[in-house]
């Protein structure tokens, strides 16, 4: 935990705990924002994909524009920073309800967090956010949470350094975030159901992308298909083109071996760094800039009194949202009682440009699942 970690509160009172949480954020220099609960739906659909539609509470305004109850607070807070033209760097916090179908339990739950925009000291900002997440856990009585750490930027840099077609590189990065990379490492065997459309895919391979996309869209429209599994016609067409590129180019065995070896690296940050450096040296790849950043961040974590022995880094740990660009982390109850992460966060330098910023703006933040933390507290977790 960080050197300034707050003491656990002796009495379980959700209101007092929330007030203490906001006070901790305020003491760290984060100004509270409270963005509107009703948000434009297209922002979330564009950034998270149509698959999130099934989990959103949707409505429309008098002009027919699709609106939603905010399913998270990171995007609304980022929009508010842009709309109010807040000077950068900007450090903001939030605490309030979000709304999302979750299968079990209420579709309304509370979320707290911080977002830091515009800082150029990337490694220091990353370490500060993770340390603040540990402070949140300590406040709720979880003194030594399990720390899971990953780095989307490292995997992206590795893909850029490998001889891959652009479409295949995008596919691999997307599948990495969604945890389904294994199927990309070997081409489908003859007779597999995945080759059922191989004739179409072979015909599309090497075709003009715009013409191929128009052809697929027309065929789907003629067949009366508008969505499949939450994907729009346009998204289905894009998927076909990516599969065509994958069929045509394949994944060279040497490249697959490098990726497989990379994705097997886990452990404490220093040990993992040594393994990654050995791998790229063997492969003849230069990843020194991103690996140096990784090591500097580890140094800043140590400066915040984060015990590296408690950190489990995994090269295979990513995020399903494509605006994440660097460090990602989750803090878990070591006893496994919470049913998910207590705190999660990471670096998302692609977010503000995707929301309309005219310039590149760095971003890193965290979100705390208040009800999960509160449930642990109510079970007597507090000291």
Are residues 104 and 191 both part of a single domain? Answer: no
Are residues 204 and 133 both part of a single domain? Answer: no
Are residues 83 and 217 both part of a single domain? Answer: no
Q: Domain boundary at 250, 266, 286, which?
A: 250
Q: 83-122 pLDDT, tens per residue?
A: 999 999 999 999 999 999 987 678 999 999 999 999 999 9
The DSSP line for 145-193 is -EEEEEEHHHHHHHHHHS---HHHHHHHHHHHHTT--GGGSSPPPTT-G
Peptide bond into 89 cis (omega under 30): yes
Q: How far apart are CA 353 and CA 361, in angstroms?
A: 7
Confidence band, pLDDT 50/70/90 cuts, at residue 315: very high
Q: How far apart are CA 170 and CA 172, in angstroms?
A: 6
The DSSP element (H or E) to which 255 belongs, if any, is helix 253-263
Q: How far apart are CA 323 and CA 176, in angstroms?
A: 13
Is the CA virtual torsion 177, 184, 315, 339 positive or negative?
positive
Are residues 56 and 110 both part of a single domain? Answer: yes
How many other CB atoms are found less than 10 A from the CB of residue 182? 10
Per the DSSP assignment, residues forming a β-bridge with 313 are 149, 267
**What's the mean pLDDT in 195-223?**
63
**pLDDT at 3 (0 to 100):** 45
Are residues 132 and 75 both part of a single domain? Answer: yes
What 3-state class would DSSP assign to 329? strand
Q: 255-273 pLDDT, tens per residue?
A: 999 999 999 999 999 999 9
132 neighbors 70 (Cβ within 8 angstroms): no
Backbone phi and psi for residue 308, each to the nearest 5 degrees, phi listed first:
-65, -20
132 neighbors 326 (Cβ within 8 angstroms): no
How many other CB atoms are found less than 10 A from the CB of residue 218? 12
Total structural domains in the chain?
2
**What's the mean pLDDT in 277-284?**
97
Are residues 109 and 3 both part of a single domain? Answer: yes
Are residues 22 and 140 both part of a single domain? Answer: yes
> For residue 28, is it within any domain?
yes
How many other CB atoms are found less than 10 A from the CB of residue 230? 12
Are residues 114 and 55 both part of a single domain? Answer: yes
User: Does 200 have pLDDT greater than 50?
Assistant: yes
**pLDDT at 177 (0 to 100):** 83
Give 368 or 322, the one with higher predicted confidence: 368
> For residue 299, is it within any domain?
no
261: CB partners within 8 A, 6+ apart: 279
Are residues 223 and 120 both part of a single domain? Answer: no
> For residue 9, is it within any domain?
yes
Are residues 137 and 210 both part of a single domain? Answer: no
Are residues 133 and 40 both part of a single domain? Answer: yes
**pLDDT at 247 (0 to 100):** 55
User: Does 239 have pLDDT greater than 90?
Assistant: no
Domain that holds residue 244: 187-250
Q: Domain boundary at 202, 224, 250, which?
A: 250
The DSSP element (H or E) to which 93 belongs, if any, is strand 90-99
What 3-state class would DSSP assign to 92? strand
Angle at 14 between CA 8 and CA 18, to 5 degrees: 75
> For residue 271, is it within any domain?
no
155: CB partners within 8 A, 6+ apart: 173, 176, 262, 315, 318
Q: How far apart are CA 362 and CA 4, in angstroms?
A: 25
pTM score of the predicted model: 0.82
Q: How far apart are CA 383 and CA 374, in angstroms?
A: 14
User: Does 135 have pLDDT greater than 60?
Assistant: yes
199: CB partners within 8 A, 6+ apart: none
For the chain, the distance separating the N- and C-terminal CA atoms, rounded to the nearest angstrom, is 16
Q: How far apart are CA 142 and CA 149, in angstroms?
A: 18
**What's the mean pLDDT in 290-301?**
98
Are residues 51 and 102 both part of a single domain? Answer: yes
Looking at residue 36, which CATH number applies to its domain?
3.30.930.10
């Amino acid at each position: 935990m960080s050197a300034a970690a707050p003491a656990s509160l002796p009495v379980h009172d959700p209101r007092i705990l929330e007030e203490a949480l906001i006070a901790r954020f305020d003491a760290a220099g984060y100004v509270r924002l409270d963005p509107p609960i009703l948000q434009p739906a297209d922002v979330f659909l564009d950034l998270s994909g149509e698959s999130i539609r099934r989990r959103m509470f949707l409505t429309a305004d008098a002009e027919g524009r699709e609106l939603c109850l905010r399913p998270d607070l990171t995007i609304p807070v980022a929009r508010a920073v842009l709309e109010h033209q807040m000077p950068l760097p900007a450090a903001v916090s939030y605490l309030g309800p979000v709304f999302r179908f979750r299968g079990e339990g209420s579709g309304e739950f509370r979320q707290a967090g911080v977002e830091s925009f515009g800082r150029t000291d990337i490694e220091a900002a990353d370490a500060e956010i993770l340390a603040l997440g540990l402070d949140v856990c300590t406040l709720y009585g979880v003194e030594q949470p399990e720390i899971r750490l990953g780095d989307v930027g490292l995997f992206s840099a590795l893909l850029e350094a490998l001889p891959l077609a652009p479409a295949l590189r995008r596919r691999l990065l997307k599948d990495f975030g969604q945890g389904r990379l294994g199927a990309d490492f070997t081409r489908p065997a003859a007779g597999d159901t995945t080759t059922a459309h191989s004739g179409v895919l072979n015909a599309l391979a090497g075709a003009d992308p715009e013409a191929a996309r128009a052809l697929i869209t027309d065929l789907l429209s003629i067949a009366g298909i508008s969505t499949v599994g939450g994907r729009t016609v346009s998204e289905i067409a894009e998927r076909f083109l990516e599969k065509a590129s994958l069929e045509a180019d394949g994944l060279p065995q040497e490249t697959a071996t490098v990726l497989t070896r990379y994705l097997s690296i886990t452990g404490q940050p220093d040990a993992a760094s040594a393994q990654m450096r050995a791998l790229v040296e063997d492969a003849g790849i230069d990843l020194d800039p991103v690996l140096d950043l990784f090591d500097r961040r580890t140094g800043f974590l140590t400066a915040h009194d984060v015990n590296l022995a408690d950190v489990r880094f995994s090269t295979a740990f990513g995020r399903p949202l494509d605006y994440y660009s660097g460090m990602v982390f989750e803090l878990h109850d070591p006893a496994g009682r919470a049913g998910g992460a207590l705190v999660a966060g990471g670096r998302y330098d692609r977010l503000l440009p995707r929301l309309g910023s005219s310039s590149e703006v760095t971003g890193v933040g965290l979100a705390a699942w208040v009800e999960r933390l509160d449930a642990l507290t109510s079970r007597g977790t507090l000291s």
